[in-house]
Amino acid sequence: MKLEESIVLGLGAMRLSLAEVDEPSALRLIHEAFDRGIRLFDTADVYAPSATEIGHNERLLAKALGNRQGDIVVATKGGLRRQAKQWIPDGRAKHLKTACEASLRSLGVEQIDLYQLHAPDPRVPLGTSLRALASLQKQGKIRDVGLCNVRLEDIEAARQIVDVASVQVELSPLAQTPLKNGIVEYCVKHGIHLIAHSPLGGHRRAKRLSRVPVLQSVAKRHGVSAFEIALAWLRKVDAVVLPIPGATRVDSLVSSLHALELSLTDEDLAELDEAMPAASIVRKPRVAPAASEEELVLFVGYPGAGKSTLAESWLARGYTRLNRDVEGGTLADLVPELERRLIAGERRIVLDNTYPRRESRFDVIETARRHGVSVRCVWLDTTLEQAQVNAVRRMISRHGRLLEPSEMKTSKEPNDFTPEAQFRYRRELEAPRLEEGFSAIDNVQFASRGEGRRSGKAVFLDALGSSVDILKSYAADGYRIVQLTYRPGAGDREGRIDLGGVEIEVLACTHAPGPAVCWCRKPLPGLGVLLIEKYGLDPGQCIVVGESAADRSFSERLGLRLVSPDEFSGVQSSKSGGADG
């Protein structure tokens, strides 16, 4: 059973537990909401004054609504834990089962109307969390399953496991991401209710929303507040959109309900759509201009994947370049400059920044569409590992060495970035799709630049546990012997030692433990690339001696042969041979 079609507005109850609202006032507000027709109440187990009062908001609703819960939909959530002031995702099946049973007790019901995964847990496969919810649904403990704070790819994956009744995301004139990243459009297409939390900007941005010029302009014509126009605008997106303003006062609740009575005119919608076109695209899907000689070329790819190099081939064909590294500012700041160029008559432009998120691509595509110019996507389908090696190789080519974290942080060169830039891209990436409005998507596989003929060989050790005779044998056969080690806080990063007549070059990462801020700690490829470039090593003839996950990943990134310490010490005949990945 889905959310009732008659429900068009709900109450977000979170602030009744987190704000300074006394219990009698909170109960009166909930009673007033019910008496005025509100039939959707949104809560969560973690909505509580402190980590020791989990379930507070659920218990508050149960106390206020009593036996009237059969006439309404109470939507709660699980999948977060409170630890001091932190809210930590916990998508483990065990936690969700325990949290759901606690919510049943707090709400005083035998079945939860709508149970939502509060947020994906990056440490737990999404499928694991969803199968736990599907099991709870099968047991009759929850009626409908919902998702919160997810990406489009998450919704698609979830629907392969469980019937998704709702998706909850932040949506308001100040937060239009779900309109731009395809989530609202997807929910409309598949009849999934979209619960819009913070539709008035939330308590931190409500004043800012009240000052949005287009909302003020339309509100003045109707003699109402900007908040009421914002809610009326959301309801005009599509009937699946259910705003849940978080009122803490009765007058705010009454104002929100008054918005349902507003009838926006064609003039109103035209003015709102001009300022906020993303909503109009959901109501009236655009037709992308067909591919032509007049086109923008928008790149999607990891930092360091070779976008700038590939862009040169387009510049040679008469395209001009628009790039944040040249213009400065953010990706969003490029849109006014793009508009200016299109107005000036430019019709062949390359945008070769990363553009990982669909939202970041939206304004570019929409701006081009308004000017009748098609947008071609060039997607550098590069793996993280390939991009890492390429980024390090470029750094060494420019500087002759690996930069220190402090140098990368202050460098004006856009390609002097830390590993986090690429990790962030992987987290944010939403694969480009034709339905975004592209005329075409060119999938370009990674191609490393030519390395020339290399013949150098090396053995990379982590620890010096190998027999001296074995090392002598490899050294005599032309192998360099190198120890790559991790010594946080050590002073010397490079050195040489003599082990029984065998010269061993030592390179150490000395940076502090924690998230990688440098390129030299395995499994990151920095020191390996440095040595390959320095000595002209042929990766296919190099050996990594180790058995840790870091050694395995390091060797795979660089195409080196991995052997265990036992194998290396006992099998001298394996000196030659290609990489086994």
Q: What single string gives the DSSP state of each residue in 17-52?
A: HHSS--HHHHHHHHHHHHHTT--EEE--TT-SSSGG
The CATH H-level (homologous superfamily) assignment of domain 11-170 is NADP-dependent oxidoreductase domain (3.20.20.100)
Mean pLDDT over 164-188 rounds to: 97
Do residues 93 and 57 make contact, with C-beta atoms less than 8 angstroms apart?
A: no
Alpha-carbon Rg for the chain, nearest whole angstrom, is 29
Q: In whole angstroms, give the CA distance from residue 457 to residue 541.
A: 5
pLDDT of 572 > 70? The answer is no
Assign 414 a pLDDT band (cuts: 50, 70, 90).
confident
Q: In whole angstroms, give the CA distance from residue 234 to residue 242.
A: 8
Q: Which pLDDT score is estimated for 415?
A: 87
Q: Which amino acid is at 462?
A: D
Tokens of 425: 């891209």
Do residues 59 and 30 make contact, with C-beta atoms less than 8 angstroms apart?
A: no
Sign of CA dihedral 164, 165, 170, 173: positive
Q: Which helix (H) or strand (E) holds 445?
A: strand 440-445
- CA geometry: angle at 184 spanning 181 and 186, to 5°? 90
C-alpha to C-alpha distances, 174 to 43, 149, 198, 202, 232, nearest whole angstrom: 23, 16, 10, 10, 15
Q: Which amino acid is at 108?
A: G
Q: In whole angstroms, give the CA distance from residue 259 to residue 196.
A: 15
Do residues 146 and 165 make contact, with C-beta atoms less than 8 angstroms apart?
A: yes
Q: What percent of the chain has pLDDT over 70?
A: 96
Q: Which pLDDT score is estimated for 146?
A: 98
The secondary structure of 104-144, three-state, reads: HHHHCCCCEEEEEECCCCCCCCHHHHHHHHHHHHHCCCEEE
Neighbours of 272 (CB within 10 A): 23
Mean pLDDT over 453-478 rounds to: 89
Buried/exposed 568-577: b ≥16 CB within 10 Å, e otherwise: bbeeeeeeee
User: Is 47 among the residues known to form the active site?
Assistant: yes
Give the residue from 578, 536, 517, 528 showing the smallest Cα distance to 557.
528
Mean pLDDT over 386-408 rounds to: 95
- Domain 295-445 and domain 457-574 have a common topology: yes
pLDDT digits (tens, 9 = 90+) for 46-77: 999 999 999 999 999 999 998 776 779 999 99
Mean pLDDT over 286-306 rounds to: 89
Mean pLDDT over 192-208 rounds to: 95
Assign 449 a pLDDT band (cuts: 50, 70, 90).
low
Buried/exposed 232-243: b ≥16 CB within 10 Å, e otherwise: bbbbbbbebbbb
Q: Which amino acid is at 511?
A: H
Q: What is the mean pLDDT of the chain?
A: 92
Assign 443 a pLDDT band (cuts: 50, 70, 90).
very high
For 88, the 3-state DSSP assignment is strand
Q: Which helix (H) or strand (E) holds 439?
A: none
Specify which residues 525 forms β-bridges with.
none
Q: What percent of the chain has pLDDT over 90?
A: 81
Q: Which pLDDT score is estimated for 199?
A: 97
C-alpha to C-alpha distances, 380 to 154, 353, 419, 436, 559, nearest whole angstrom: 22, 11, 18, 17, 21
Specify which residues 256 forms β-bridges with.
none
Mean pLDDT over 318-322 rounds to: 94
Q: Which pLDDT score is estimated for 570?
A: 73
Q: In whole angstroms, give the CA distance from residue 149 to residue 238.
A: 20
Decide if domain 457-574 falls under CATH 3.40.50.1000. Answer: yes
Q: Which pLDDT score is estimated for 410?
A: 94
Q: Where are the domains of the chain?
A: 11-170, 295-445, 457-574
Neighbours of 1 (CB within 10 A): 9
pLDDT of 200 > 90? The answer is yes
Q: In whole angstroms, give the CA distance from residue 259 to residue 328.
A: 41
Q: In whole angstroms, give the CA distance from residue 542 to residue 549.
A: 18
Q: In whole angstroms, give the CA distance from residue 131 to residue 115.
A: 13
Give the residue from 241, 244, 247, 253 showing the smallest Cα distance to 10.
244
Q: Which pLDDT score is estimated for 553?
A: 96
Q: In whole angstroms, give the CA distance from residue 192 to residue 242.
A: 11
Q: In whole angstroms, give the CA distance from residue 389 to residue 387.
A: 6
Sign of CA dihedral 138, 140, 143, 144: negative
Tokens of 551: 């050694």
Q: Which pLDDT score is estimated for 463?
A: 82
Considering 47, 115, 186, 425, which one is annotated as catalytic? 47
pLDDT of 578 > 50? The answer is no
Q: In whole angstroms, give the CA distance from residue 211 to residue 173.
A: 11
Assign 452 a pLDDT band (cuts: 50, 70, 90).
low
Do residues 356 and 302 make contact, with C-beta atoms less than 8 angstroms apart?
A: no
Assign 579 a pLDDT band (cuts: 50, 70, 90).
very low
Decide if domain 295-445 falls under CATH 3.40.50.300. Answer: yes
Mean pLDDT over 216-240 rounds to: 96
Mean pLDDT over 450-466 rounds to: 82
Mean pLDDT over 491-509 rounds to: 91
Neighbours of 518 (CB within 10 A): 18
Give the residue from 171, 177, 176 showing the smallest Cα distance to 241.
171
φ and ψ at residue 484, rounded to 5 degrees: -110, 120
Mean pLDDT over 185-203 rounds to: 96
Do residues 525 and 553 make contact, with C-beta atoms less than 8 angstroms apart?
A: no
Assign 577 a pLDDT band (cuts: 50, 70, 90).
very low
Q: In whole angstroms, give the CA distance from residue 491 to residue 506.
A: 13
